[in-house]
Structure 1
Amino acid sequence: MSTLVGIMVLTLVTILVVEIGNRVNAPWPALMVLVGVGIAWIPGQHLNVPNDLVLPLLLPPLLYTAAERTSWRMFRMRWRTIVIFAVGLTIFTTAMVSGTAWLLYAGMGLPAALVLGAMVSPPDPVAVEAVSKTVPLPRRILSTLQTEGLFNDAVALVIFEVALAALESGEEIQPRELLADFLVGLVLAVIVGLVLATGIRFIVRLSDNAIASAAATVVLPYGAYLIADSIEASGVLAVVVAALEYRRTESPDDVEERLVRASFWEVAELILTGLAFGLIGEGFQDVLSEYGSQVWRMIGKGLIIALVVVVVRLVYLVVLTRVNRMRGTPIMAPRTWKEAIVMTWGGMRGLITLALAVSLPRFIGPGDEYFSERAQLIVASCMVLVVTLLIAGLTMPWLLRVLNVGSEAEVERKQERELAHSAARRAFDAIHEMEDLPDPVVERIDAVVEQLESGLLERTVVEDIDEDINTRRTNRAILYQVQKTALAAARESLIEARNQTGADPVVVDRVLQRLDLQTSLMRKRD
């Protein structure tokens, strides 16, 4: 089966899994684990993607879509969460897993053990969000998990790259050199991300075509990753910086681009998810064909690694719970031991673990020797996925019921109402600044603003006014300008809210998307 046909078939399977997940109210990434396991037992090669192309193919878009869900403001707001979870917990998990692997696997050196630790340490925000659509996770907990998932990839990938480089060179890891390389790579990555985002934004400003503008966001992550990698900087950090800067400089009037961009990346993320699970299935298939019954022993050790991942996370969160209580930080999660358990179960591994596992080379070292630990690392990664994604994803509703962890959805809905009201207020003020409005139009202003606030103009109301046909046409045109002004002011309010302290970017984007949809519909009718 050719690579292209294999990808198409895998995409169709992924679409079916998504639909099955919707029907049975189960997170589809968890169900994709079963697809990967199934592929492992189907004989024959299906995808044939070279290992050295896996990371450049999968990582840039995955990192870009994750960074799209946040902002510089959110980065500053939640720096404590980032330091505690994305940095502290990731490094702690990597260290504990690496130590366990070094003791558990005979003959495994420290670099290979670090590779495994880095592979399985970062939870995946995509998996968490998929689960959140099927179970009522408290927003504060979900927000912490999402923030953790947005930045822990960078930390884990830096460790992974350094450990893999040590394996390829055959040299020992030097902590001082590691820190120096990281700092230099960090500075260069920031420069690459900022310059590329600024350049592409300048080019996009020259075009009025929403599809062409959205297509530029394909160049952005891949360009940032490849340029940074070519100068030995961190491609991961370059992509994150480029995405954050590009999103910061967007205009309230970039309506069609946002809609096209959001739709494109949702589709791309789904296809890449299917491809990643297919590749891990093939990787496991290779292990089965090469090691036969010995795989069961590898599976047993992999389950021990998975157990260590879960226990380490639980211990870290329980300690953090006590710290939060002592410091009196009510907005931090977790606050109780129940929340610590939920967040432990919510630390689902996903695409990054998959991408790193399938990117492992078959031959490594100065002498291009066979990478004997590769099979063990792949099996261990699969077991971590089974425990933290499949089992955790499917049992999360049961866990929430047993622990009786209350949903904070009402708080989220309140913030959404406040955002809608603020946008409508801005629209109302903007309309009243318009001059020479006919009385029939003035009488309709309140209705227009009320409709904007309640449903963000889900349908355009243009009713006949009891005047002659020419006056009606004139007033319709004026009413169109009123609506256009109202929508522009509301978009401006939401863009400002996204960059202000206290507003959740996810909630703002949800309200903004409704506004963009209505604006796009009105422009098509124009």
Structure 2
Amino acid sequence: MESVSIVLFLLLAVVVSGAVARMLPFGIPTPLVQIMLGGAIGMFTSHRVELNPELFLFLFLPPLLFLDGWRIPKDELFKDLSTVVELALGLVLLTVVGMAFLINWMIPAMPLAVAFALAAVVSPTDPIAVSAIAARVPIPKRMMHILEGESLLNDASGLVCLRFAVAAALTGTFSAGAAALDFLWVAGAGLAIGVGVTLAATRAKAWVSGRWGEDTGSQILVSLLIPFGSYLLAEHVHASGILAAVSAGVTMAYAEISRQALAATRMRRNSVWDMIQFTLNGIIFVLLGEQIPGIVESADRTVAATGHTQPWWLAVYVLAIVAGLAILRFLWVWASLKLTILRKGRQVVGVQTPDFRLIAATSVAGVRGAITLAGVLTLPLTLSDGTPFPARDLAIFLAAGVIVVSLVLASVLLPLLLKGLAMPPEPARQAEEDAARIAAAEAAIRAIERHQHELAESHGEADIFAEAGGQVMDLYRERIDGLSDRNPGEVRASDRLLRDFRLVGLRAERAALEQLVRGRSVSSDLARKLTRELDLSEARFGSSGHA
């Protein structure tokens, strides 16, 4: 029962954090509110969470990384792939090496292998925290796509580096050649397993659905099992479960194109995954806050491991690590953008040097979050001979401090840097969208005409089918005429008006239905059905500019 109570407390804290974050007038990001609520749970309740590192890693990381790979915009990722790879791989390696030697130099009592492990866990960034911070000052789309792509890849690269660092700490030896070969197996096999598991699972469920029909609940459950199955299989063959989960998510996006699920399945599945993402990210930050009181209580023992006696030395180390991370990121981002401009300058005339604020904002946006906490908590409790893992509490304290300080700094600096900041202009996508809508409408008209003829030939009542099909085809022809004959500005203005009027009508329908329900003039089943139809219509017209 105690475990159940702890889980309920954590879930309640996640729910309350969202409301509290919206109530606070200063725009405090939700992750910081969740950390504070977690700290309150740790300080004022008797509940304590004893985290099993392997179980923690298995429960939280595979679904989050799978969903990141599934939902990240692929075209935008490939457009800036060189920049993303430079940040996600080059910057991670520079961070791991540079920060490891800095930490080992500052804290000689921390072995170099443990310093490499700490540097590896603080190298990945967290776009969820950045999104929460920038909720009131939207991040430019292209910049957000770069940050998302970087986070997707540097999660894997940072945690793979952590794996080698922990292995070196446990064995006391490290061979660069053996590590390179091991990395090829860990990365290659992990990627291949993620792709293979996803393709096998999606093809199997498509075959079953094609022969015996589709069950929405089973389809959703399969999507939930894929990241865990990929992770477990990869770890079983000593490959990277993290990379397996990432590649499974990326493959899922392409597999869904050729094996479409029912619309109801997709809608419900998206809702389930939204809930899972919100819950897992929230619980991770609440757990971080819940662990802080215990970490602070052992501050005296922790600071003793550094060779000092005053606890404020821990704050000095945290600030030094944050400063080192910021400087390395700023220099790398500046160099990366300069190289990109030099490459494009040979092909495109008029390429401009990026604004200093753009470089600074991209640097500040490197917030540490859920992955850093998940990674540092996976440090083993003991070495191979049973002795305690050296400086484990210190590493956890420093990682937790880096997360909190980076969140606070970003919440203060990022809105200031992003205010009025414009990314380099991108080509308009409206023409591409209009062409796709016209092609879809024309295909619908052709399909309706064929269906009319088939029904007329089989039933012989051509007028009825012609009238019904004609009404639907008129709607598609109006869409084609509107997108073809008028300029894009007029189309968008007209569509906005149509959407506004449609939403007014839908809200009136909802109010009337509520009156009927209160008066018990309709049954509960009919009320649920009509409410769902209104919800779908309002979601459609509320999120799209095209009626």
TM-score range, shorter chain: 0.7 to 0.9
Mark the CA change 1:239 to 1:440 in structure 2 (over 3 Å): closer, same or farther. Answer: closer
> Corresponding residue for 2:513?
none
* CA displacement at 1:101 relative to structure 2: 0.5
Q: Which residue does the alignment assign to 1:193? A: 194
Counterpart mapping for 1:60-459 below 5 A: 60-70=62-72, 76-169=78-171, 171-205=172-206, 206-207=208-209, 208-250=214-256, 251-292=259-300, 294=303, 295-328=311-344, 335-363=354-382, 365-401=383-419, 404-406=420-422, 415=429, 417-418=430-431, 420-433=433-446, 434-435=448-449, 436=452, 438=466, 441-442=469-470, 445-448=473-476, 454=495
Identity over the aligned pairs, expressed in percent? 24
Correspondences of 1:470-485 after superposition (within 5 Å): none
Code of the residue aligned with 2:197 in structure 1: it is: L
C-alpha separation between the residues in 2 aligned to 1:392 and 1:231?
Answer: 40
- Normalising by structure 1, what TM-score? 0.79
Q: Deviations over 1:318-353 (max 9, x none)?
A: 222332333336899982321100101111111100
CA shift, 1:451, in A, is 6.6
Change (3 A) 1:388 1:449: farther
TM-aligned CA distance change 1:16 to 1:108, over 3 Å: same
What's the RMSD between the two structures over aligned residues? 3.3
Quickly say closer, same or farther: Cα 1:63–1:102, change in 2 above 3 A. Answer: same
Contact 2:36/2:289 (8 A) holds in 1: no
Q: What amino acid maps onto 2:318 in structure 1?
A: G
Q: Deviations over 1:26-73 (max 9, x none)?
A: 532243333344445446443333223111111111111111123666
Larger radius of gyration: 2
**Alignment size in residue pairs:** 461
Q: Is the 8 A contact 2:367 2:406 kept in 1?
A: yes
Change (3 A) 1:201 1:306: same
The residue type equivalent to 1:321 in the other structure is: L
Are the counterparts in 2 of residues 141 and 333 from structure 1 also a CA contact under 8 Å? Answer: no
Comparing 437-446 and 274-283, the one that deviates more: 437-446
Kept after mapping to 2: 8 A contact 1:210/1:257 = yes
Bigger shift: residues 225-234 or 351-360: 351-360
Q: Distance in 2 between matches of 1:234 and 1:332?
A: 40
Deviates more, 1:239-248 or 1:31-40: 31-40
Cα contact 1:221–1:243 (8 A) shared by 2: yes
1:328 is paired with a residue whose SS is: helix
Work out whether residues 3 and 46 of structure 1, in 8 Å CA contact, stay in contact via their aligned partners in 2. no
TM-score by length of 2: 0.76
Q: 1:516 to 1:392 in 2, by over 3 A?
A: closer
Amino acid at match of 2:344: G
The answer for unaligned runs of 5 or more in structure 1 is 462-512, 519-526
Paired with 1:232 and 1:332, the residues of 2 have a C-alpha distance of 46
**Cα-to-partner distance string for 1:115-144 (whole Å, 9 max, x where unaligned):** 111110111122233334321222221111
SS in 2 for 1:369: coil
Contact 2:190 2:240 in 1 (8 A): yes
Instruction: Name structure 2 gaps, 5 residues minimum.
Output: 304-310, 453-464, 484-494, 506-538
Does the 8 A contact of 1:60 with 1:236 survive in 2? yes
- The structural deviation recorded for 1:88 is 0.7
Q: Give secondary structure in 2 for the equivalent of 1:304.
A: helix
Distance 1:43 1:297 in 2: 29
